[in-house]
Chain A
Amino acid sequence: MEIKDFIEKFAEQFDDTELSEFKPETVFHELDEYSSLIALTIIGMIDEEYGVTIGAEDMSAAVTIEDLFNTVKSKM
C-alpha cells in the first residue's frame, strides 16, 4: 500500500477540490468541500479498496491524510 495511491483514491471522492490540494500533510478536515457525506464516501472507499473498516472516530482522530493512511495501514 503506497501513500501516493491512497491519496489518489482519497482525492477521487472530491469533485471540486484541486488535485494539488491533496498532499500527505493536508489537514483534510479543513478542505472546503469536506463534509460528513465525503467522510462516508472515504470510509466506503477504504473498505472497498483496502478491506479495512474504519469508523467515524478514526476519521475524526486523523488530522492529515497521512494520519488516515497510517490508521488504515495499521488495520491491514
Chain B
Amino acid sequence: MEVNNPFSLCGKTILITGGAGGIGSAVARTCVELGARVVLTDIREDALSETLASLPESQTGEAHLAITADLTDAGKLSTLVDACPPLDGVVLNAGVMKLTLTQFITEEELTRIQKINLNAPILLTRSLLKKKKVSKGGSIVFTASAAGVYRVSMGNGIYATTKCGIDAFMRTVALEMGPKGIRCNSVNPGMVETALIGSFTEEQKEKEKQNYPLRRFAKPEDIAYGIAYLLSDASSFVTGTALKIDGGMTLG
C-alpha cells in the first residue's frame, strides 16, 4: 500500500542559494533525501562542486544542477534566472554576518552586507516571479534569523537590520503571491554551527549557549528540516510565517 507522505518533496525542483554553505548544503541534502531535484547556486565554485558531488542522485531522472553566481551582480543574477528550470521551491539562504559595534560601522561594510543579505534575495525573488519561474503551488523560503526579528544583540546591528528587512519582504511576497497560489515563509534560526558564527570566540560561544534552554546551538540539519517542511505540501496552508528555530533562545 502506498502511504501518503505530505512531507515528501518527490517530483519537486528546488533552487537553493548559498547552496555550498553550512545551512545551504544541509538543505540541499535534506531536499534530495526527501525526493527533490535541486539547483544549487553559490559564489564559491569549489565548495559548490563539492556539495553537488556529495549529493545522492536525483530520483526525478533529471540531474541536479550547480550554477556559480555572485548574486550581487545583476548580470549573473539574470543569467541564473534564465538557466533555472521551472521551480516548485526556492530557498533564499545566502548571507553573511560580521560583528561590528555601532560606532565602528563603515558605509562600505553596511552596503556590502545589505547587498548580499537583502538586495540580492529581493532582486532574485523579483526576477523569478517576473519570469514566472515559480510554479503554481510553489513555495519560497527565506533564511531570516532570530536576530532582528525576535531579538537584537550587541555588535550585530547591520545583520539584524537586513534580517528585519527580509522578514517584512517575506510577508509582502506572501500577501502578493497568495492569490497566485505561491506561498512565502521564512525560517528564523538562532546560532547555527556553521562558518558564519566564526567571528565569535569559543568563550563567547560557550557563554552564549547558556542562553539556549536546549543548551546547544542548532545543527544545520535542524534548520534544513524546517525549510523542508515549508517547501513541502505539509505546509500548504502556511504563508507569511516566520518559523523560529532557536532552541528556545528567545524565550528568556
A and B together in one complex: yes
> A-side interface residues toward B, CB under 8 Å?
15, 35, 37
Please provide the 5 A-B residue pairs with the shortest distance between their CB atoms, ordered closest to farther.
A37-B179, A15-B180, A37-B176, A35-B179, A15-B136
The CA of A58 and the CA of B232, in the complex, are separated in Å by: 41
Nearest opposing residue in chain B for A41, CB measure: B176
> Which chain B positions have C-beta within 8 A of A15?
132, 136, 180
The CA of A56 and the CA of B41, in the complex, are separated in Å by: 39
> Which chain A positions have C-beta within 8 A of B176?
37
Chain B residues touching A, range: under 10
Nearest opposing residue in chain A for B178, CB measure: A37
Q: Mark B13-38, 1 if CB is under 8 A from A, else 0.
A: 00000000000000000000000000
The CA of A68 and the CA of B111, in the complex, are separated in Å by: 40
| A and B contact pairs by CB, cutoff 8 A, 6 listed | A15-B132, A15-B136, A15-B180, A35-B179, A37-B176, A37-B179
Q: Mark B111-136, 1 if CB is under 8 A from A, else 0.
A: 00000000000000000000010001
Minimum Cβ distance to chain B for residue A37 (Å): 6
Minimum Cβ distance to chain A for residue B244 (Å): 29
The CA of A35 and the CA of B179, in the complex, are separated in Å by: 10
The CA of A37 and the CA of B176, in the complex, are separated in Å by: 7
Nearest opposing residue in chain B for A40, CB measure: B176
> Which chain A positions have C-beta within 8 A of B179?
35, 37
Among B172-194, those with CB < 8 Å from A are 176, 179-180
The CA of A15 and the CA of B136, in the complex, are separated in Å by: 9
> Which chain B positions have C-beta within 8 A of A35?
179
Minimum Cβ distance to chain B for residue A56 (Å): 17
Nearest opposing residue in chain B for A38, CB measure: B179
Nearest opposing residue in chain B for A15, CB measure: B180
> Which chain B positions have C-beta within 8 A of A37?
176, 179
Nearest opposing residue in chain A for B176, CB measure: A37
The CA of A37 and the CA of B173, in the complex, are separated in Å by: 12
Nearest opposing residue in chain B for A48, CB measure: B130
Minimum Cβ distance to chain A for residue B130 (Å): 9
> Which chain A positions have C-beta within 8 A of B136?
15
> Which chain A positions have C-beta within 8 A of B180?
15
The CA of A37 and the CA of B179, in the complex, are separated in Å by: 9
> Which chain A positions have C-beta within 8 A of B132?
15
The CA of A53 and the CA of B180, in the complex, are separated in Å by: 25
